[in-house]
Amino acid sequence: MISEAEIMKLNFPDAPKVADTLPGPKTKEIWDKSWKYETPTRVGGSYLQFVWDTALGSTIKDPDGNLFIDMTGGLGVNNVGHSHPRVVETVLKQAPKLMHTLDMVNGPRAALAEKLAEIMPQGLKNNCFTAFDASGSGAIETAIKYAKMITGKKEIIAFQGAYHGVYGHSLALTVSPHYRNGYEPFVSNAHHLPYGYCYRCFIGAKYPECGMACAKYLDYVLNTPYTGITQPACVIVEPIQGEGGYCPPPNEFFPIVAEACKKAGALLIVDEIQAGFGRTGKMWAIENWGGVEPDMLVWGKGVAGELPLTGVAVRAEYQSKLEVGSQPATFPGNALACAVALTNIDIMTDPETDLMGRARVVGEEIMNIYREAQKTSPVIGEVRGKGFMMCVELVKNKETKEPIDGEKAFGLMIALQNKGILNFVCGRYGNGFRFMPPLTTPKAYFEKAAKTFVQLVKEQEGDLQK
């Protein structure tokens, strides 16, 4: 496993280090100007007065020279860290040779499709073909279109709390009102069922006494007459919900879901865009539920890292069911992005550095910091997650689980930024603080971020309960 000294070399030293007043003048000037020339529909760029200037590993500098620890990890993009030296080397080598090729074969693209088949989970491993895309929403669109063509059915089953994108089918599957309101009507035949979010069980039960009612309800709806679902093409699910609150369901959840899909003749699609590529300590998050074999796996973010590349891995047996040339595209499979993806896979699978093993070990140690604080804090309702994908959910009252106010959650996020910690909230009530830094984050930096968060929560406990 890579040493902490070697990990530190991939980052700026002495983080965090910020001025007493943020944002600084250079940052504010650029940020203010962005409001004139950029859309207000941006998310991070609209809420946080933050401007990126330079980044390395898990550290970021703004234009005023303030140094931050990145707890966002690009929301799953920067799994090997910002500007990893091997990635930079690949860009410098590939860019002068070849970049854009339309949606046509090139050397890095062909090599990546083969490599992806080698690292897929059970069921898809060396038994799949890849459809490339350039965005997560686009990859989800492709997966749903394929499911309809393969099965000849038209209904799509997703889950409450889901986020799958913001275009067409993907927006119909995403449930946050903030992303949906004003963009109606949505693509038809999308249905949402309860997810395995045990802290807020849809029937108010406790695990395991619940008997896995959420997963069994899916089975009931798919495989019982007169439920209103008659043509299920697919069930699409995040192994760990992202925007929904970084919720890993119980061990029994996915085996029941997979079996229900099999009985109904519906394809099982796992959306690994945010949770996948080593983040949970496994190459794919679904591998934390051993034995589950998806029909498709949607990947993105961390695979090509800082270059836009996503895709769908589809079981080989379905290739003959798709119409040749039926989905034209311009940018998917860009040679530069594919070359970087190959490098990222090499970094992630290197047994000497063992970033995934380190994510399991260090992630558990950091989770224990939050769990220890939870014992005495009246507002830390739940600590959950796997590897470097974790969430602390804050509540006004641990008995009633009433969420803290959204404005106060935002205020806490700003307080973290003022301490040099960049962090975003998540969850159905915006009360979950997610910690998903690059896997190349020094343990000392992660501990600093965790302890800073715990201290701020302790200082604000009285106000958070109001």
Residue 94 forms part of a structural domain: no
Residue 90 forms part of a structural domain: no
At 122, the amino acid letter reads Q
**Statement to judge: residues 322 and 429 lie in one domain:** no
**Statement to judge: residues 126 and 244 lie in one domain:** yes
Tens place of pLDDT per residue across the chain (466 aa): 999 999 999 999 999 999 999 999 999 999 999 999 999 998 877 888 999 999 999 999 999 999 999 999 999 999 999 999 999 999 999 999 999 999 999 999 999 999 999 999 999 999 999 999 999 999 999 999 999 999 999 999 999 999 999 999 999 999 999 999 999 999 999 999 999 999 999 999 999 999 999 999 999 999 999 999 999 999 999 999 999 999 999 999 999 999 999 999 999 999 999 999 999 999 999 999 999 999 999 999 999 999 999 999 999 999 999 999 999 999 999 999 999 999 999 999 999 999 999 999 999 999 999 999 999 999 999 999 999 999 999 999 999 999 999 999 999 999 999 999 999 999 999 999 999 999 999 999 999 999 999 999 999 999 999 9
43-81 burial, b if ≥16 CB within 10 A, otherwise e? eebeebebbbeebbbbbbbbbbebbbbbbbbbbbbbbbb
Q: Is the Cβ–Cβ distance between 366 and 446 less than 8 Å?
A: yes
Q: What is the CATH number of the domain that holds 140?
A: 3.40.640.10
**Statement to judge: residues 26 and 148 lie in one domain:** no
**Statement to judge: residues 301 and 190 lie in one domain:** yes
Output the DSSP codes for 53-68: -EEEBTEEE-TT--EE
**Statement to judge: residues 160 and 301 lie in one domain:** yes
Residue 48 forms part of a structural domain: yes
**Statement to judge: residues 173 and 47 lie in one domain:** no
Out of 303, 333, 363, a domain closes at: 333
Q: Which two tokens stand for residue 261?
A: 């899909």
**Statement to judge: residues 31 and 136 lie in one domain:** no
Pairwise CA distance, residues 442 & 70, whole Å: 11
Q: What is the CATH number of the domain that holds 459?
A: 3.90.1150.10
**Statement to judge: residues 170 and 246 lie in one domain:** yes
Number of domains in the chain: 2
**Statement to judge: residues 79 and 155 lie in one domain:** no
Q: Which residue has the tokens 């986020």?
A: 163
Q: Is the Cβ–Cβ distance between 408 and 323 less than 8 Å?
A: no
The answer to whether the peptide bond before residue 185 is cis (omega within 30 degrees of 0) is yes
**Statement to judge: residues 413 and 307 lie in one domain:** no
**Residue 101: strand pairing partners:** 103
CA 230 to chain centre: 31
Range of the domain at 45: 4-83+354-464
Pairwise CA distance, residues 381 & 199, whole Å: 9
**Statement to judge: residues 72 and 105 lie in one domain:** no
Residue 347 forms part of a structural domain: no
Q: Which residue has the tokens 């106000």?
A: 463
Residue 15 forms part of a structural domain: yes
Residue 432 forms part of a structural domain: yes
Pairwise CA distance, residues 441 & 277, whole Å: 16
**Statement to judge: residues 358 and 403 lie in one domain:** yes
